[in-house]
Amino acid sequence: MTHVVLLGDSVFDNGAYVAGGPDVLVQLREILPQGWRAALNARDGSGVRDVYAQLDRIPNDATHLVVSAGGNDALEETAFLEEKADSVAEVMAKLADVREQFGTRYRSMLDLVLDRKLPTAVCTIYDPRFPDAHLRRIAAAALSVFNDAITREAFARHIALIDLRLICANDEDFANPIEPSVQGGEKIAHAVLEFARAGAAHLGVIRS
């Protein structure tokens, strides 16, 4: 029996943001084939290091793991966007430092996830939908360094990548600038199902 476990942050644990509508877990359970199960270990507000504790609660019968982590780590770096710099090179050096630090954390987390020897998918961080168009563009550019670390790890380890930037591509997919709406959650649920159906054989990018 297939048992999918969701790890990470409010991309999966979005119940507080859908105004009583179905969250990602409910929507995933609604579309799973008969006999399949899904569990939510993800917790709103979690960062990459919080996944460690979530791994301790994985059910013994888990068959597939899906991780969405990194968005809250990125939020902790938002003060950088307001800093002044003397040159573009200084900005790029700071971004390189952020990427390397995050990459180290993400790599260590993923090592522990993959120690479970289960088919695993990881998610990119979607582009936020801030009302201010200028801030939205800057945030998307800054997130590219985090997504670079995630995609590198996914392809280096030959695991599936769920690209949330392509899945949640419309403003209506968001309940607020950084949380998925019911519509966005439905798209995410279908992407998780696509991965679970493909299992370890799917090594590409999941876009829908």
Beta bridge partners of 205: 161
* Per-residue pLDDT tens digits of the chain, which is 208 residues long: 899 999 999 999 999 999 999 999 999 999 999 999 999 999 999 999 999 999 999 999 999 999 999 999 998 876 566 666 567 676 667 777 778 899 999 999 999 999 999 999 999 999 999 999 888 898 898 899 999 999 999 999 999 999 999 999 999 999 999 999 999 999 999 999 999 998 544 444 565 5
Tell me how far apart the alpha carbons of residues 70 and 81 are, in angstroms, rounded to a whole number: 17
Torsion of CA 84, 80, 144, 176, to 10 degrees: -120
Tell me the three-class secondary structure of 166-207, residue by residue: HHCCCHHHEEECCEECHHHHHHHHHHHHHHHHHHHHCCCEEC
**Predicted pLDDT of residue 92:** 67
Tokens of 126: 């979607």
Q: For residue 5, give the H/E element and its range.
A: strand 3-8
Supply 170's token pair.
């419309």
> Is 3.40.50.1110 the CATH number for 3-206?
yes
pLDDT given at position 200: 45
Residue 76 has a pLDDT of 85
Report whether 208 contacts 187 (CB < 8 A). yes
Say what the pTM is: 0.91
Query: Quick one: the chain helix, strand, coil %, rounded to 5?
Result: 50, 15, 35
Q: What is residue 138's predicted lDDT score, i.e. its pLDDT?
A: 86
- Which neighbouring-strand residues pair with 7? 67
